[in-house]
Amino acid sequence: MSAKVYRPENWSGSPLESESAQLVGGRCLSCGKVFFPRFNACPSCASRRPMSEVRLSRRATLYSYSVIHVNTPGFKAPYAVGYVDMAEGPRVFGHLDGWQDGPVPLDTAVEIYAGPIGKDRDGEELISVRFRPLAGERNSTGGA
């Protein structure tokens, strides 16, 4: 089976070759804010100085998510997508794991990893951003 990474420029290395690949954001050299993905101009202060690369942490907290119940080309429903907040500042979009076991509380700590999200128009598996709730941090009544 073949696979390809969606927007490989967003990763510190090839997620197909290393599980330790991290998302790479950009830090504005004028105001210091961090964004993901990197922009050519700062959305905050409009500076056009090139952003410096910042490797984002692999942990974040769940901001919000939705379960999708409709198939779309390349994506087999049901699946869940949402946003997480990074410690460095950016809010990042991706696919969420663990929702099949019950609601995932907002602010749940998640691990970010590269995993399959669907298929492209040629039927090739796409690898992109996924979120995995961290065991023991899912809720106050759950077990390990």
Identify which of residues 27 and 138 has a Cβ nearer to Zn ion in the complex.
27
Binding segment for Zn ion among 38-46, 98-106, 114-122, 125-133 (CB under 5 A)? 38-46
Q: What is the C-alpha to C-alpha distance for residues 110 and 82, in angstroms, rounded to an integer?
A: 12
106 lies in the site for Zn ion, by CB under 5 A = no
Helix, strand, coil distribution of the chain in percent, nearest 5: 5, 40, 55
Sequence-distant (≥ 6) Cβ neighbours of residue 141 within 8 angstroms: none
| Token couple for 94 | 């991706």
Identify which of residues 44 and 100 has a Cβ nearer to Zn ion in the complex.
44
42 lies in the site for Zn ion, by CB under 5 A = yes
72 lies in the site for Zn ion, by CB under 5 A = no
The residue within the footprint of Zn ion, chosen from 6, 12, 24, 47 (CB under 5 A), is 47
Strands annotated E in 3-143: 3-5, 24-27, 34-35, 52-55, 59-68, 79-86, 91-96, 109-119, 125-133
44 lies in the site for Zn ion, by CB under 5 A = yes
**Contact of 47 with 41, CB cutoff 8 Å:** yes
CB of 91 to Zn ion, least distance (A): 17
CB of 12 to Zn ion, least distance (A): 22
How many residues bind to Zn ion according to rule CB under 5 A?
Answer: 7
135 lies in the site for Zn ion, by CB under 5 A = no
- List interacting residues with Zn ion (CB under 5 A): 28, 30-31, 42, 44-45, 47
